[in-house]
Structure 1
Amino acid sequence: MTTAPTPRTALLFPGQGSQSVGMLAALPPHPAIAATLDEASERLGHDWRELDTAEALAGTRAAQLALLIAGVATARALAAEAVAVDAVLGHSVGAFPAAVAAGVLDFADALRLVALRGERMARLFPAGYGMAAVLGLPARTLRDLVARARASGDLYLSNYNAPRQIVVAGAEPALDALCRLAVEAGARKAERLAVATLSHCPLLEPVADALAGAIAAMPVRPPRLLYASARRARVLTEAPAIAQDLARNVAEPVLWHDAVELLVERGMELFLQAPPGTVLADLLVEAHPDMRVRQAEALLR
């Protein structure tokens, strides 16, 4: 009797906007997850439950830390259950749990970096800025609309999640103007996202500089898994390149669709999405209806 070959598997980690109240408490009851939550509490100096409330998750620091913790906990539990993962890819702050899962960063250092990232982002733009998603328009059309809406304030294309699902970042008046223009141009939907500040645009250069300085003092190792960058839509194999990727991704666009296509071309046959939510899985199913896509936590219950 022959055993079916193990499919080449990629683990995807979501970014800010995917957080939900109680997301950490809702993780599967697994020893590796419990240990990761305890470690996070010890390293942060406060109980992880303080991150899991509606009030906390409305803030950038708590939301990003919760996503990091959920991703690392899930990756560790999968490893404990001998679920083989061949590649990792993170959306925005999801790059940090991807780096921990690939052995690039220690979890303790990732917690420090993500806390710094969230704190600096919130401090730089405490109010008046945000992000919006536009569905149904190609990038070339949206670029023209962004140029028109910039009359109302800073505005940038920030996340290329799918050919016709693109996120923009900028000042609230410009976002409102862009949403109106997009609907007039035939967009299926144009709406603000549940994020407390903006990201993935040149306005975040000071945050990228702070992260680069912090990560320079930390041990960063070559990945033991295939590490795909959503910032460059490339596989990165050297520790310095991944360190730069982690620091810079906050100030540069997310090339999510291209990064996923890269993994498909690299022969990935099964995609698992780490919690919370199903956003990344839904994008993948839309682009590749025949691809095997599952929620990672379903393998742990």
Structure 2
Amino acid sequence: MSSLFAFPGQGAQQPGMLQALPAAPEVRACLDEAAEVLGQDLARLDSAEALRSTRAVQLCLLIAGVASARLLLARSPAPDYVAGLSIGAYPAAVVAGALDFADALRLVALRGELMQRAYPQGYGMTALQGLDLTTVEGLLAEAEGPVFIGNLNADNQIVIAGSDAAMAAVAERARALGAGLAKRLAMSVPSHCPLLEAPARELAAAFAEVPLRRPAIRYLSGTTARPIHDPERLRDDLAFNMCRVVDWHGTLRTAYERGVRLFIELPPGAVLSGLARRVFEKGAVIAFQGARLDTLDALLRQEVEHSR
């Protein structure tokens, strides 16, 4: 029996998400460090207007995840695993002890800038629900214009990435085939597809100068759905996850098969918790946001007792 901290990706952001974090010394220290490294006032970073920027969104997700995890770890046992969806891989790596928070801040700021610069408009991502992978792949093969598989979130929940026109055409055909949902996501960048190979190579060059360590907490890759122990493999995973398909469903299955029975989603939101409940037939799935700290602490301690 073991536990996992999960960190959400872009699309989970909420205006005021940093201001909504618990008022605790651990959170304040994290926010102060981020403000110093970035050289900017964080009070403006999570406004609705600021969150139109890919850079701001990704930084807010990193900061919220690390601050919340540090608050919880200051009083509770560490999880056995960490995993993150897309940008969520960065707070996961920080919490695992593999990447310094200051380095993560600088890399994520660059990551957001590179992605935004590559596709400032006319591209994004769309969620399809109710169709299997084979059907969606068939729709993409017939599409005119660039559109690719981006995320595998569940057996029947797939996210595609590409141009607005190509995605709209695929969404229309998906609805005709019975898709219960075909929704354009709050993303202005076509993530997790070959369109971002060039920005990923630029980010990899910056990563070459950053020290990484072997994770102290087991790190599950959201791309390969497998643990990564080697720092160089982790470097590759983080730098190139923007242009590789996210297999979140596979990651959840791997965690469950390895004995994870406590899934805690770090802020913001609870989207990953909903996906986890489809896989975790036994155990507990809970989101940090809206939960009491003493409840989360009790669950982590209970999991430690069960694993003895």
**Both proteins in one fold, TM over 0.5:** yes
Does the aligned pair in 1 maintain the 2:253–2:279 contact within 8 Å? no
How many percent of aligned residue pairs carry the same amino acid?
49
For normalisation by structure 1, the TM-score amounts to 0.95
Deviation at 1:214, TM superposition (A): 0.8
1:111-190 equivalent positions in 2, closer than 5 A? 111-149=105-143, 151=144, 153-190=145-182
Match of 1:216 in 2: 208
Does the aligned pair in 2 maintain the 1:285–1:291 contact within 8 Å? no
Deviates more, 1:124-133 or 1:205-214: 205-214
1:66 is aligned to 2:68 = no
Match of 1:103 in 2: 97
Letter in 2 for 1:154: P
Deviation at 1:289, TM superposition (A): 4.5
Does the aligned pair in 2 maintain the 1:30–1:300 contact within 8 Å? no
Q: Which residue of 280, 286, 300 maps to 2:293?
A: 300
Does the aligned pair in 2 maintain the 1:28–1:300 contact within 8 Å? no
Match of 1:19 in 2: 13
Query: Whole-Å Cα distance in 2 between the matches of residues 100 and 291 of structure 1?
Result: 26
Superposed structure 1 runs of 4+ greater than 6 Å apart: none
Query: Whole-Å Cα distance in 2 between the matches of residues 30 and 225 of structure 1?
Result: 24
Query: What does the per-residue CA deviation read over 1:183-203, in whole Å, with 9 as the maximum and x for residues that have no partner?
Result: 001111111001121110011
Deviation at 1:170, TM superposition (A): 0.2
Deviates more, 1:77-86 or 1:233-242: 77-86
Deviation at 1:299, TM superposition (A): 4.2
1:8 is aligned to 2:6 = no
- Structure 2 unpaired stretches of 5+: 295-308
**Structure 1 residue matching 2:29: 3-state secondary structure:** helix
Query: What does the per-residue CA deviation read over 1:86-141, in whole Å, with 9 as the maximum and x for residues that have no partner?
Result: 10000000000000000110000000110011000000000010100000000000
**Structure 1 residue matching 2:277: 3-state secondary structure:** helix
Query: Whole-Å Cα distance in 2 between the matches of residues 10 and 23 of structure 1?
Result: 22
Matched residue count:
293
Query: What does the per-residue CA deviation read over 1:128-167, in whole Å, with 9 as the maximum and x for residues that have no partner?
Result: 1010000000000000011122x1x100001000010000
Query: What does the per-residue CA deviation read over 1:56-112, in whole Å, with 9 as the maximum and x for residues that have no partner?
Result: 111100000000000110111111012321100000000000000001100000001
Q: Which residue of 20, 31, 38 maps to 1:37?
A: 31
Deviation at 1:295, TM superposition (A): 1.4
Does the aligned pair in 1 maintain the 2:54–2:113 contact within 8 Å? yes
1:189-268 equivalent positions in 2, closer than 5 A? 189-268=181-260
Query: Whole-Å Cα distance in 1 between the matches of residues 283 and 255 of structure 2?
Result: 12
Query: Whole-Å Cα distance in 1 between the matches of residues 244 and 103 of structure 2?
Result: 22
Does the aligned pair in 2 maintain the 1:215–1:243 contact within 8 Å? yes
Query: What does the per-residue CA deviation read over 1:162-182, in whole Å, with 9 as the maximum and x for residues that have no partner?
Result: 010000000000010011000
Does the aligned pair in 2 maintain the 1:159–1:167 contact within 8 Å? yes
The alignment yields a C-alpha RMSD, in angstroms, of: 1.1
For normalisation by structure 2, the TM-score amounts to 0.93
Query: Whole-Å Cα distance in 2 between the matches of residues 222 and 203 of structure 1?
Result: 30
Deviation at 1:49, TM superposition (A): 1.3
Letter in 2 for 1:190: A
Match of 1:47 in 2: 41
- Structure 1 unpaired stretches of 5+: 1-6
